[in-house]
Each structure stands twice: as structure tokens, then as C-alpha cells.
Structure 1
Amino acid sequence: MTFRERHHGGAPLVLPNAWDAASARIIERAGAEAIATTSAGVAWSLGVPDGDRLDVDEAVAAVTRIVRAVDVPVTADIESGYGDVARTVRLVRDAGAAGINIEDGLVAAPERIAAARAVGGDLFVNARIDTFLRSAVGVDETVSRAKTYVDAGADGVFVPGVYDPAVIAELVSRIPAPLNVMAGPGAPSVSALAELGVRRVSVGPAIAAAAYSLVAAAAAEILTEGTYGTSDATLTYGDLDGYFAH
């Protein structure tokens, strides 16, 4: 089943988001059918804050490394397109990505979806709608934007920031495309989301934040207590080194 087909059959496609080659390989080894990048995690790993601050060439280089590190499809979070949407999508496609996420923000942005569709070939275009993250304007505006994006060429719709099962069910019933939600603390479980009709589940920067939290805790322990308990990792040096021996 192709990456595109996977949005239409079976259980929801679950995508624990990666931010570099190592995290992508680890997530693949855990059993992921595909890898989704997190723009926040990629930005942090390159020393800049999230929010379209990445240089497009650095962003594409990160996608390229991730694609090379895994054998499963990769879908790339390109934020709002890094300026020239068509150029960014072309670069990401040529890097080997199978899909993209592209976001709107405070106002609808169907021209970004149209530009991505025009150059993206068979890329799965996932249109992120930020109504619940930024503007809180509700279901009707979300559905209106979703329909506009589908008309512009979106293959799927991503609505992060919504956790209420009743709202999720309404979005599923009213949006004419596979729905992606962002799970995390306070969200329904994957099985519950499946029952609601969600087709794709991702976690945004949550795993990257958890990994960096471990770095902070381990560093604080050794610097203040002089002990190493936090650094007692489950994955050994040999495990991690072996992940890249293929």
C-alpha cells in the first residue's frame, strides 16, 4: 500500500514525528510505517526557534538526511513554505519526500496549497489549518478552510489543537478529505481516534521535547549532584551505532 493509499484504508496512519536522521531511524525501528518531520524539532536541532525561521536550504538538507536514513516514506513539515512555496516543494520532492505539511496561520491561504499541488507531482499534500491553535474561530471556519484547500488540491487536512471527541467527530463528518489530528496529553487515544474516523495521527514536537528534556535532566544531574542515573539509557552505544550499519 502506497503512502497515499495508507490514508484511506485500515487503521489510522500513526506518525511519531522525527527531527533528524537518528530520531527517524529509531522511530522506523520502532515500527513506524512512515516518518513525519516536526518543523519545531528540526529548527531546534539546527539552533533556531520554530516559526518559519529556518533557512530553506537547511530545512531541505534535513529532509534529505532523514530520507536517506530510512526505508519508509517521509513526509516533510515545510511550515508555511519558507517564502517561495513552489521552490520549496520542488526541493523537498526532489529530496525524496512522499508528502508535505503546509500550514495557513491566522488567515486562509489556498494559494499555498495550489502552488504546492502545481509542482508537487504525486506528493501527498496535507493542509494544516491553525484555527484551533491560533485563532480559535471554531468548527465552521475550519471546515470552510478545509473545503477551500481540498478544492485547491490538498489530499488531506491537518487540524492540530483539537482534543474534544465531539468536535473531532464533527470535523471528520464535514471535511471531504482524510483528517489528521495532533495527539498528546489530553487527546483521545489512537484507538479512540480511529473510532471517531481520524485517518492520520501525529504528535508534533512532543517526542523532540521529551528527548531534549532528558538532555536537560541528565546534564543538570551530573553538574549539580555528580551522579549519572538519568543517563542510564535503554539504548546502548552498540544499539544506536548498529542502526546505521545498513
Structure 2
Amino acid sequence: MTHIPAPRTRSTVAEDATTLRSLYEAPEVLRVVNVWDAVSARVVAELPGTRAIATAGHGIAASHGYADGEQIPLHLMLEAVGRIVSATDLPVSADLDGGFGDAGETVRRAIGVGVSGANIEDQLRPLAESAKLVADVVKAGEREGVSFALNARTDAFVRGGDRPLDDIIADAIERGRAYLDAGATCVFVPGILDADVTRRLVEGIGVRKISVIGLPGALSAAEYESLGVARVSYGPMPQNVALTALKKLGTSLLADGVIPSDTEMLNNF
């Protein structure tokens, strides 16, 4: 029989936020396999090692026919996230891009659909503006009675351009410290980070205080864990892998292939 998750109450969301924050602080790195709809959330949630669900903003936008970068209307994003929340009992952290113009209000609405944490990008806005955005998100959670688990993202690396690496690292550290001071739970530093760069970021921002993305060419989750990283996510890559598999299958079927015999029936709603 398919398990039907209970609806999220404000009390449940508050408990989820506490759980999510504790997962960031735990010695074991939090691995989150990003999802983009209810069925992908259900599949990932049923895996034995899954302790929390994280959405991929890029993946949700793409599944609705929009480009990444807040091109999808906020109400569609939140509707999709709400369906993901309804598919699992686990805490859900949502990718909310840059906050859709009003990060505090966006988080208030996200809490309303059951979200207990989020990634929000600084997009390399001026530091004071970015720190205020973080503070606004934290205050929005407090007004809702939720100690919201904000994974504050700095784009120091992905928008770093041709700046010297030392300058990029220094910028990420300065921003990360400011976001933690403003109440963020963790600092997300996307980019392909080698061991030396990761070590410097952890030393500068804090042990179990940074989050990274597992892209091709990155370290393994176990290696990041040994360096003191709190969380590893995979962004749009799980969806890309799924779509690659679909493309390969479609090519085979159109060439008179057959469905592989080891295919599982996973869409168990």
C-alpha cells in the first residue's frame, strides 16, 4: 500500500526546520539528491539514505517550460514545491533562486506550503544588500514560528569572472561570515571546488557551515565530509541524468528496441 504523508501543519514545519538545521550540524555530511516534481521526490524519499529532500529550481522551471533564473512565475514554483512537500514526510528545502524580488515574502509563502528551509542566491549583489536579504528571510521565518534553515548561496565562484582565485575565495568567506551573522544556517558556495579551496573556505567560514554542489569533476561526498562540509547537493544534474536515460531509451524504442526487463514500476501514486 502506498504511504500517504500527513499534511504539514505550522508545528510540523517548525519541527522539520529544527531537524534540517540539526542535519547541517551533524558530523556526517548531508547528501541531498535534488528533485523537481512529486514523483521524483517520492522515488528519492524512499531511498534508505535519504534524510531530507531538496528541490532543484532549474529542474522545476524546466519541467514547466521555463528557463532558469526566476523566469518561472513564483506561484507556479510554489505550487510545484507544495506538491513535492505533499509527496514525503521528510523535511523539504526549496531552491528559491534570488528570492523573486521579495525574499521575506517568498519564504513566508514557502513556509505556507510546508517548506522548512531554502537556498537563496546573493547573485553578487552588494554585501550589505545581500546580508539584509538573509536577515529578512530569517525574520520572516520567526514571524511564522519557524527557525527557517536558510542555506544562503553566494555566487562568488559562479559569477567570479576572471578575478584571481584568492580574491574569489576572500569574497566568498567575507560574504559567508556576513550571512551567518545575519542568521543563515549554512552558506552554499557552488562551483567545482578542489580539496585546497574547500579547506580554505571551511577554515574561513566554519566547520559544518558550508554547502557545496557535486558536479562532474568535483570531490566525492565522503571527501567533502572529511574536509568539514555540511551538505552536498546536485542541482539540476539528477534531472539531466534522468533525461539522458529517457533520450537513450527513446532512441532505442524508435529503432525497434524494447523496454529493458529490469525496469521498475516506480510511479507508485
Normalised by the size of structure 2, how large is the TM-score? Answer: 0.84
Partners of 1:80 and 1:57 in 2: CA distance: 15
CA spacing shift, 1:96–1:235, aligned 2, 3 Å: farther
What displacement does 1:232 show? 2.2
1:149-228 correspondence to structure 2 within 5 Å: 149-176=179-206, 178-223=209-254, 225-228=255-258
2:124 paired with 1:94: no
Corresponding residue of 1:28 = 45
Moved more, 25-34 or 213-222: 213-222
Secondary structure of the residue aligned to 2:20 is coil
Q: 1:116 is matched by which residue type in structure 2?
A: V
Q: 2:148 is matched by which residue type in structure 1?
A: L
Partners of 1:10 and 1:141 in 2: CA distance: 26
2:136 paired with 1:115: yes
Q: Deviations over 1:212-241 (max 9, x none)?
A: 112222223333x2323xx4274433x432
Are 1:129 and 1:157, in contact at CA under 8 Å, matched by a contact in 2?
A: yes
Which stretches of structure 1, 4 residues or more, deviate above 4 A after TM superposition?
none
Instruction: Kindly indicate whether structure 1 or structure 2 has the higher relative contact order, using CA contacts under 8 Å at least 6 residues apart.
Output: 2
Partners of 1:18 and 1:233 in 2: CA distance: 25
Q: Deviations over 1:35-87 (max 9, x none)?
A: 00010111111111111111111111111101110111000000001122222
Q: 2:154 is matched by which residue type in structure 1?
A: I
Are 1:110 and 1:152, in contact at CA under 8 Å, matched by a contact in 2?
A: yes
Q: 2:45 is matched by which residue type in structure 1?
A: E
Report % sequence identity. 35
Partners of 1:235 and 1:99 in 2: CA distance: 34
Q: 1:67 is matched by which residue type in structure 2?
A: V
Q: 2:57 is matched by which residue type in structure 1?
A: S
Partners of 1:12 and 1:233 in 2: CA distance: 35
Are 1:12 and 1:194, in contact at CA under 8 Å, matched by a contact in 2?
A: yes
CA spacing shift, 1:71–1:116, aligned 2, 3 Å: same
Unmatched runs of 5 consecutive residues or more in structure 1: none
Secondary structure of the residue aligned to 1:4 is helix
Unmatched runs of 5 consecutive residues or more in structure 2: 1-17
Are 2:192 and 2:215, in contact at CA under 8 Å, matched by a contact in 1?
A: no
Q: 1:209 is matched by which residue type in structure 2?
A: N
Moved more, 109-118 or 63-72: 109-118
Counting matched residue pairs gives 238
Partners of 1:115 and 1:234 in 2: CA distance: 49
Partners of 1:193 and 1:236 in 2: CA distance: 32
Are 2:99 and 2:106, in contact at CA under 8 Å, matched by a contact in 1?
A: yes
2:264 paired with 1:236: yes
What displacement does 1:173 show? 0.9
Tell me how large the CA RMSD over aligned residues is.
1.6
Secondary structure of the residue aligned to 1:133 is coil
What displacement does 1:2 show? 1.6
Corresponding residue of 2:6 = none
What displacement does 1:164 show? 1.0
2:62 paired with 1:44: yes
